[in-house]
Amino acid sequence: MSALCAEVTDVLIRAALEAVAPTAAVRRCLVREGALLCVGDRRYALDSFDDLRLVAVGKAAPSMAVGAAQAVGQPFTRAVVVTQRGNLPCPLDLPAHAVAYIEAGHPVPDEDSLRAGEAICTALEGSLPRTLIIACISGGASALAVAPHAGISLRALRAVNTALLACGADIREVNAVRARLDRLKGGGFVALAQPAQVVGLILSDVVGDPLDVIASGLTYHPAAHNVLIGSNAQACAAAARAAQALGWSARVVTTALQGEAREVGAAIAAELLSTASGTCLIYGGETTVTVRGRGKGGRCQELALAAALALDEAGAGEDLCLVALATDGADGSTDVAGARVDSMTIRRAAELGLDARTCLADNDSYTFFARTGGHIRTGATGTNVADLVLALHF
């Protein structure tokens, strides 16, 4: 069962990730037609700008920067690319003086995040009416680049971030606080860029795709033209199409999945138990974890572990499985994307002398799956559209 589950779900995962590949997503929304640069429903005459700048920040920044460079087809005066440490390499072949490529900390900002924020502020300086700035924004940017207001230290920012992440606050609540502590966030990016024209290309990792919340609203400002280029809904729809092509009865249940990971996992397991054979349920969104234990894990691993426990308690047969993964390839602060479980996961753990409930109580889902073999490892995917959960009844 585990091998079959892995075979099928790997196909669906690949389809979902390909649908939100950042380079292609940028190219679909940023198109050059002769001397015109088309961005969504707007047209920019490139000969009316003598200063073209690029700022790409977030987990998908390298791939988005590639798409922007390919679409524009001419050199940038300045470029800054900021992404998560260990992500894809710098994609732009630009003179050293024109580009800054910075890998910074996530989910808690570090010294490199501070350096990244300073680099972005510098890249916005001296803007004129004939300056066009293309901003490629994706999830993770809130921690990867920080420019705190005067009197706020990096240490204070780190403490606030750590507390918010540990208490189970959702991304809207976390980013609402971040936006008030930082000069770039809450539209500050655009304010600092005035009087330049700013185009924001946004890859959403937030339920509902609110532009004021994604990346703490860097370009959320009336003076900017923002275009949503990719979202969790697209990934879920692609997974559903792939499942249907394999003969499954596939349905996207929701792209607004929220709440405590362990509670959501149990609820999805209950829904799966009520389905007929050949059903594939697809969920998208982002849950939260209130950390009470000392273990290691992430929201997707915790959701999967809770689902496995619910399936076991219900005495489920051997024909059910579930996958939960972060589309960026990193669940929480771990080196895995998520986890895969089936009806027999808890029994296999017991045979290894592993108590699943103890692991869940200690927020130690990583240890559980490291021992049972349920981890999903994708490496850095280059994209970031929140989480994906696949529940299948074989």
Q: What pLDDT, in 10s, does the model give residues 107-150? A: 899 999 999 999 999 999 999 999 999 999 999 999 999 999 99
Residue 166 has pLDDT above 70, yes or no: yes
Residue with tokens 């579930």: 322
- The pLDDT, as a whole number, for residue 165 is 84
Region at 151 (left for phi over 0; alpha for psi -120 to 50; beta for the rest): left
Rounded to an integer, the average pLDDT of 305-328 is: 96
How does the average pLDDT of the chain come out, rounded?
A: 95
- The pLDDT, as a whole number, for residue 92 is 63
Residue 95 has pLDDT above 60, yes or no: no
- Residue 318 near residue 353 (C-beta atoms within 8 A): no
Q: Which domains does the chain have, with CATH numbers?
A: 2-16+233-393 (3.40.1480.10), 21-230 (3.40.50.10180)
Query: Position 292: which residue type?
Result: R
Residue 45 has pLDDT above 80, yes or no: yes
- The pLDDT, as a whole number, for residue 73 is 93
- The pLDDT, as a whole number, for residue 86 is 79
Rounded to an integer, the average pLDDT of 157-179 is: 91
Region at 34 (left for phi over 0; alpha for psi -120 to 50; beta for the rest): left
Residue 97 has pLDDT above 60, yes or no: no
- Residue 370 near residue 189 (C-beta atoms within 8 A): no
Residue 91 has pLDDT above 90, yes or no: no
Opening angle at CA 143, ends 137 and 145, nearest 5: 65
First to last CA, the chain: 9
What's the CA gap between 44 and 224, in Å, rounded?
13
Cβ neighbors of 120 (< 8 A, separation 6 or more) are 55, 57, 80, 82, 145, 147, 184, 189
45-49, 172-176, 270-274, range with the lowest pLDDT? 172-176
- The pLDDT, as a whole number, for residue 386 is 97
- The pLDDT, as a whole number, for residue 93 is 63
Categorize the per-residue pLDDT at 28 as very low, low, confident or very high, splitting at 50, 70 and 90.
Answer: very high
Q: For the chain, what percent of residues have pLDDT higher than 90?
A: 91
**CA separation (Å) from 12 to 193, 207, 279, 375?**
41, 21, 14, 16
- Residue 226 near residue 198 (C-beta atoms within 8 A): no
Structural element, H or E, at residue 117 = helix 111-124
- The pLDDT, as a whole number, for residue 319 is 94
Summarize pLDDT for 236-269 with one digit per residue, the tens: 999 999 999 999 999 999 999 999 999 999 999 9
- The pLDDT, as a whole number, for residue 318 is 84
- The pLDDT, as a whole number, for residue 53 is 97
- The pLDDT, as a whole number, for residue 2 is 78
Q: What is the dihedral of CA 199, 212, 100, 71, to 10 degrees?
A: -30
* Angle between the N-to-C axes of helices 261-273 and 299-313, in degrees from 0 to 180, rounded to the nearest 10: 40
Cα 230 versus chain centre, distance: 11
Categorize the per-residue pLDDT at 103 as very low, low, confident or very high, splitting at 50, 70 and 90.
Answer: very high
Residue 222 has pLDDT above 80, yes or no: yes
What's the CA gap between 43 and 48, in Å, rounded?
12
What tokens were used for 22?
């950042």
Its pTM stands at 0.92
- The pLDDT, as a whole number, for residue 1 is 57
Q: What is the dihedral of CA 195, 29, 93, 81, to 10 degrees?
A: 60
